Structure 1
């Protein structure tokens, strides 16, 4: 794509609104975890967004869960390489009986319901600490919309 065909850069309020819309209307993401000696581990998962956190689930005995027990941070991505949202998040592992009903019900609409096999699954609550979003090179500068868990009034990078 040449610079002549790049979409115009969105202002910060529009980028934030578009990011929130994407998180609220989507349900699939890439989830990356890592721990010492294992390197990066990337999986596709379904998710639900409640307006401030994301919830997903995976197998209790998975490498993802093992990585998160060692280092409770993750990076997730949704969108494509030309229009992406990246989130660095702190993670909380939740046994199936400990998830709130609203999250469990919403998650069951987009993926396998962990409540049907609670000994096999764990929920993962992802608390965003940094959110980046851009839809072209025109937005690459200033792509950070949230830092340290707070939405920014001015973009940084």
Structure 2
């Protein structure tokens, strides 16, 4: 079984667990689509700054192009029995527009400093607008812990 042994967590505990995972985990799944709706799914290193997720990749690769053009993404943490899904609005930033503290925290967490990889790399800030979290079937009800950018009551 999983860590909750079938007892559903309340909204506040789910939010606490999601925030802890955002602090701890190094990589996140990033879903995007091109103008024709062709999907892309890749893992990227990330930083949670307490309000947003920061990602960095080459602007010219499919994910970079899609994030820059589409302005939306779905992020995912965890495996299929302990899920966190985050829908967010994306903004694109050159390195000089990203807070130095965010870049340094990203580099410390991931072991990679994109500033050393050249100007082809850009940053994407993802502001969450919806978050779902559940561990297996008993938690499907109540999985929406953020909607329209607002944490649910009790979160």
> Fold conserved (TM > 0.5)?
yes
Are 1:70 and 2:69 an aligned pair? yes
| TM-score under structure 1 length normalisation | 0.90
Tell me the residue number matched to 1:37. 36
Tell me the residue number matched to 1:146. 146
Larger RCO, structures 1/2 (Cα 8 Å, 6+ apart) = 2
Are 1:93 and 2:92 an aligned pair? yes
The answer to which structure has the higher strand fraction is 1
Alignment partners' CA distance in 1, 2:35 and 2:22? 30
My pick for the range that moved more, 75-84 or 108-117, is 108-117
Where has structure 1 moved over 6 Å in runs of 4 or more? none
Q: CA deviation at 1:38?
A: 4.4
Query: Any stretches of 5+ residues in structure 2 without a counterpart?
Result: none
| TM-score under structure 2 length normalisation | 0.91
Tell me the residue number matched to 1:56. 55
My pick for the range that moved more, 74-83 or 34-43, is 34-43
Tell me the residue number matched to 2:17. 18
Q: What is the aligned length?
A: 152
Alignment partners' CA distance in 2, 1:77 and 1:63? 18
